[in-house]
Structures are given as structure tokens and as C-alpha cells.
Amino acid sequence: MDVSNILAAHAAKYQAVTVEKETPLDVDPGLLLVTDLNPIEEETYNENLEEHLQSLARDGVQALMASLFSLPTKTSPDGPLAILPPPVYQLPRAKPLPKPKPPTKWEKFAAAKGISHKTKEKKVWDEEKQDWVDRWGRHGKNKEVREQWIHEVPLNADADWDPRKAARDERKERVAKNEKKAQQNLARASRPQSERNEEIERTLATTRISTASMGKFDKKLDGEKKIRGVKRKFDPTEVPIATEKKNSLDLLAKMESDSKKMRREPRGEENPLNVRKAINRASGGRGGIALGRELSGGGGRGRGRGGRGRGGRR
Amino acid sequence: MRPLTEEESKAVFTKLANYIGKNLVHLIDRPDEPYCFRLHRDRVYYVSESSMRLGISVARPNLVSLGTCFGKFSKSGKFKLHITALDYVAQYAKYKIWIKPNGEMPFLYGNHVVKAHLGRITEDTPEHQGVVVFSMSDIPLGFGVTARSTVDTRKLDPTAIIVFHQADVGEYLRDEDTLF
């Protein structure tokens, strides 16, 4: 019995499971990604684009499926699941790189002087305890004075001088100062110096005229300048008359277009009915006056001038 | 004396356009001689180019007036049209109203125009439209603003105001010292 033609018919019906390409397809199962690096065949591309694309897509999906079925699986209540390997292809960033932080005043100074950053260890060696202790924090080295059992009192100290409180105040002061510097760094980073100077000058000008006498009887500091306002600027009296005419006509044209725009907008919202068009239609193109006359039964006076009312009423 | 700024021009043009509409172009673009608007001590003057050039040589405190005074700017920047502009406004007026001889005097004394004095009116005049007031012998007497549209005036009683007074030629006598 010859089954070769049956097999051939079967083979023609179903395409091969393995995909043969000149350059093998690049499959990344971790991202479910297939890349076809083969150059496009111009002949089939030009002949039937849709078919060409479909065959390309089919090959790609076939290769992906084949790679998925070769992966290790684990069983689950929904059936076997393939365990995807970690992705190989490097996806580009979705967002731009974060901008570097603007340098603080100290960082700028250090860079200018060539001072390199030294990392401080959190632990420091304590000679007395013969042990490593924290530099700061609970039982830190910076709170050593507080735990001392005997204190040296300066000669000029008050009677109620508390060495523990003095040490604490000094420490707190340093913290506050650092906080203030950090705030200044933030302010500096948010706006350039010139802008801040401008604002300061504006504020100063406002405060100078904000007294009861509008600054007239205030004490003058030496080197203080008179406040100058913005001077008005006008065109010269004698310009070529042609340019003046052109400017005026331009302004007129602009005003006209503006007023047209202004008129159009509210009408669209208020009244969906185009009144002008409706009147035109009802009066047969003779205008609202003619229509009114007709309805009130008024006679022949206006008959002769009917043409004038055409489209007259806006 | 200086040319108007853009905002000032806008104020002047909108006020004039209320009376003469698109004919305003004929004031700016004249075939006979170039004319221009000049501002001097808050007053707007409509001057021919030649007079303007002559006026340049007069010092500001010495210059009393030049050309035709069209009106003045109030302190708050609003423009008020003076009766002196009547010649040009009447020439190009879009909407006109003629009043009967018995209504001329009341109008020239600064009163509004009532319906009883109405002689003729331009057809299709809308409400709140600047109109020029003429006597029945076609002499311009002043200008005003309509209180009602032409269609609505029919139903009014004779004492109803139809045109609000804005300026009249009687001001040449009454406001002689401040007008120019």
C-alpha cells in the first residue's frame, strides 16, 4: 500500500514545525521576544505584502513556541507552566536618566580647592573603654561629656553653670547650623543667584515706599540710590506717515477680526438657532423688516424698496 | 504732541467705529492728503501731515491746539468723543436720525431725543448704536446712542427716549473754554 501521496498531502496541509532560516532567529523566551535578523526578501515583499508579513509572523511565533516547549516546566492546577529564564535582551529605559544633584556650597568649594571626600567610619576607637563605640547616636562618642562623672569648670563660669547643658547646647547649635546651611543649599539650587537678587531688590523697593510718608522722611543709608520707575516709551512724533498709516490699518484689521471672534463665540453657546439664517429663509431673502411688515398687514409703502432689506439685518 | 500708543489708538478707533463703522478706513487712508492722529495734553487731534510737521516746531507749553480735536482721554484712560469731531463723523455716519424742528432746541440744550421729536431714522438701526442727529434740513446737530432698535421704537409712547444725548453743537457755546 502506497501512502506517500497521503503523507505528501498531510505535509502540504501543515507546515514544518522547525523554522529554517539563513540566519537563525534570535529568541529571548524571558521577554517572549523573537528577532528576525534576516534581510527582507524583496521579491515576495513586492509580490504580496500581506502574505509576506503573515509568513514572517508565523515563523517567529513558531520559533517562540518551540523554545517555550523546550523549557523546564512545573505543574500547577491550571496545567503545566513553563519557567521563563531571565531576559537577555536589554530593554531601553522608559524614562530619561535622573539629573545629577546640583552641588552644595561645600562641594563647590571642595572641588575648587581639590579637597577629596573622606568617608567617616561610624565606629571610633575609645581609648578608655578599649572598644569601638558609635560616633553618634545612643551612647555615641559625641555625647561623651554628658556621661562624664567629673567636669572641669572654667574660671569665669557662673554659679549655676551646668557643664552637661553647655555641651548639649553646643551640639544642638551645630545641628541647627547644618540644617540652615542645607536649607540655603536647597534655595540656591532652585533659583539662580541673579533671579534672587532681582527679587530682593524688588522687595527692598517696595519696603522703601511702604512707610506712612511713602519713604520721604526715612533715614537714607549712604550709597542708597533713588528709586527709578519704568519710563514710558512712545513712538517719535515724526515717523514716515506711510508706516503710521499702515500700523493704523493693521490695528483696525486686528480689531475687526477680534470683534468677529468675540461675537461668534457666545452665539454658539447661547442660541443654537442661527437667527439671521432663519429670518432670511422665512422672509424669502427679503429681510426681517419686510417680514414684519407682511405679518402686521402693513401695505404697499415698503413694497418698492423690498430689495434693500436683503440680508440687511445682522 | 506725540502719536497714539496702540492701546490709545484702539480706544479711539472703537469709539469712532461705533458711529462710522468701516468708514473709519477713509479717515486713515485719505486720497487727498495724509492725515494722522496726534495726542497733545490728553486730547486727540486729527491733523494733516503738513500741519503736524509745522506743529512739531512749537514747544509743548506754547502749543494750544492743532488740526481738529476729536476728543479727549479721561484720567482713567477712557476716550470721550467731542462735538468738534462732528464734521467727520456726520460725513461718514452709518446710522442717522433726523429730528423735527420743534425737537432741535431741546436737543441743542443737551437733552435726549424723545420719540415725539423723531422725524426720520435709518432703517434697521440696532439698539445702543451710535447715531448722528440731523435737523430735517440735513444739518448735523450732534450725536448720540440709540435707546431702542428701529423696530422697537414703533410701540413706544411719544415721551419715550429713543436717542441718548452724547454731544451737540450747543457745546460750542456751553463748553467753549474746555472744548478744544
Residue B46's nearest CA partner among B86, B85, B96 is B85
Cβ contacts of B23-28, under 8 Å, gap ≥ 24: B23/B92, B23/B94, B24/A252, B24/B92, B25/A249, B25/A252, B26/B92, B27/B88, B27/B92, B28/A245, B28/A248, B28/A249, B28/A252
- Average pLDDT score, chain B: 90
The answer to whether the CB atoms of A239 and B3 lie below 8 A apart is yes
Lookup result for grid cell 520559533: A63
- Distance (Å) from the C-alpha of residue B165 to the closest C-alpha of chain A? 25
Would the pLDDT of B116 be above 60?
Answer: yes
CB atoms within 10 A of CB A192: 10
**Is residue B30 a part of any domain in this protein?**
yes
Please, what is the average pLDDT of chain A? Answer: 84
DSSP string, B4-21: --HHHHHHHHHHHHHHHG
Residue A149 sits at the chain B interface (C-beta within 8 Å): no
Q: What is the least distance, in Å, from the CA of A235 to any CA of chain B?
A: 6
Tell me which long-range contacts A87-92 makes (C-beta under 8 A, separation of at least 24): A87/A28, A87/A30, A87/A31, A87/A33, A88/A28, A88/A30, A88/A31, A89/A28, A89/A30, A89/A31, A89/A33, A89/A35, A91/A31
Chain A residue numbers with beta carbons less than 8 Å from the beta carbon of B153 are none
Is the ipTM of this structure higher than 0.85? no
- pLDDT score, position A264: 58
- Assess if residue B170 is contained within a domain: yes
User: Based on the domain organization, do B81 and B7 belong to the same domain?
Assistant: yes
CB pair distance less than 8 Å for A234 and B37: no
Interface contact B36-A241, CB threshold 8 A: yes
The answer on B111 and B34 residing in a single domain is no
The shortest CB-CB distance from B123 to any of A234, A236, A289 is to A289
Q: What is the pLDDT of residue A182?
A: 94
CA–CA gap between residue B109 and residue B119 (Å, rounded)? 18
Nearest CA in chain B to A244: B36
Q: Give me the CATH number covering residue B47.
A: 3.10.450.220
End position of a domain, from candidates B57, B88, B119:
B88
Q: How confident is the model at residue A270, as a pLDDT?
A: 56
Mark the ranges of chain A whose per-residue pLDDT is less than 70.
Answer: 1, 262-272, 298-314
Task: Please state the domain count of chain B.
Answer: 2
Whether A50 and chain B come into contact, CB under 8 Å, resolves to: no
Do B11 and B82 lie in one domain? The reply is: yes
**Structural domain that includes position B36:** 2-88
Picking from B69, B88, B107, the residue at the C-terminal end of a domain is B88
Q: Is A75 on the interface with B (CB under 8 A)?
A: no
Alpha-carbon distance of B67 to B36, in angstroms, equals 10
Residues 6+ apart with CB under 8 A from A38: A21, A22, A23
Q: Residue ranges of the domains in chain A?
A: 4-82, 123-149+163-186, 266-300
Q: Does B9 lie in the same domain as B83? A: yes
Q: Does B124 touch chain A (CB under 8 A)?
A: yes
Mean local confidence (pLDDT), B10-38: 89
> Which residues on neighbouring strands pair with residue A82, listed in sequence order?
A73
> Cβ contact (<8 Å) for A251 and B6?
yes
The CATH number given to whatever domain includes residue B123 is: 2.30.130.10
The whole-number pLDDT of residue A188 equals 86
Position B180 in a domain: no
Shared domain check, B67 and B30: yes
User: Over 50: is that where the pLDDT of B163 sits?
Assistant: yes
Q: How many CB pairs under 8 A join A and B?
A: 59
Same domain, B108 and B67: no
Residue A191's contacts (CB-CB under 8 Å, 6 or more residues apart) are none
CB-CB under 8 Å, B5 with A234: yes
Residues B40 and B72 in one domain: yes
What's the distance, Cα to Cα, between the start and end of chain A in Å? 96
B54 touching A (Cβ < 8 Å): no
- Residues 261-300 on A with a CB inside 8 Å of B are 287-289, 292
Listing DSSP states for B23-48 in one string gives: GHHHHHS-SSS-EEEEEETTEEEEEE
Contact between B56 and A237 using a beta-carbon 8 Å cutoff: yes
Q: Report the alpha-carbon angle A200-A205-A209, nearest 5.
A: 145
Summarised one tens digit per residue, pLDDT across range B42-66 is 999 999 989 998 989 999 999 999 9
* Tens-place pLDDT, residues A59-78: 999 999 999 999 999 999 99
Please report whether residue B159 resides in a domain: yes
As a residue count, chain B comes to 180
Q: Is B124's CB within 8 Å of A309's CB? A: yes
Q: Across the interface, do B10 and A251 touch by the CB < 8 Å criterion?
A: yes
pLDDT given at position A265: 53
Residue B11 lies in a domain: yes
The three-class DSSP label of residue B141 is: strand
**At B154, is the secondary structure helix, strand, or coil?**
coil
| Predicted confidence (pLDDT) per residue in A157-175, tens digit | 888 889 889 989 999 999 9
Structural domain includes residue B150: yes
Interface probe for B, chosen from A239, A252, A255, A257 (most Cβ of B below 10 Å), is A252
Say yes or no: B83 and B100 in one domain: no
Residues B64 and B109 placed together within one structural domain of the fold: no
Please give, rounded to a whole number of angstroms, the shortest distance from the CA of B158 to a CA of chain A.
Answer: 21
Across the interface, of B1, B29, B123, the residue whose CB is closest to A237 is B1
| Selection from A136, A115, A111, A135 nearest residue A125 by Cα | A135
In chain B, what percentage of residues exceed pLDDT 70? 100
CB of A249 within 8 Å of a chain B CB? The answer is: yes
Same domain, B13 and B75: yes
Residue A267, C-alpha cell as written in the block: 452665539
pLDDT value of residue A303: 47
Q: How far apart are alpha carbons A174 and A274 in whole angstroms?
A: 76
Q: What's residue A311's pLDDT?
A: 45
Task: Kindly state whether residues B102 and B159 are assigned to the same domain.
Answer: yes
pLDDT, tens digit, 9 for 90 and up, residues B118-155: 988 888 888 888 999 999 999 999 999 999 888 888 88
Distances (CA, A) of A237 to A234, B2, B8, B49: 8, 5, 15, 11
**Boundary residue ending a domain (B88, B115, B141):** B88
What are the backbone dihedrals phi and psi of residue A30, each rounded to the nearest 5 degrees, phi first? -60, -35
Tell me whether residues B151 and A244 touch, CB distance under 8 A: no
- Distance from the B33 Cα atom to the nearest Cα atom in chain A, whole angstroms: 11
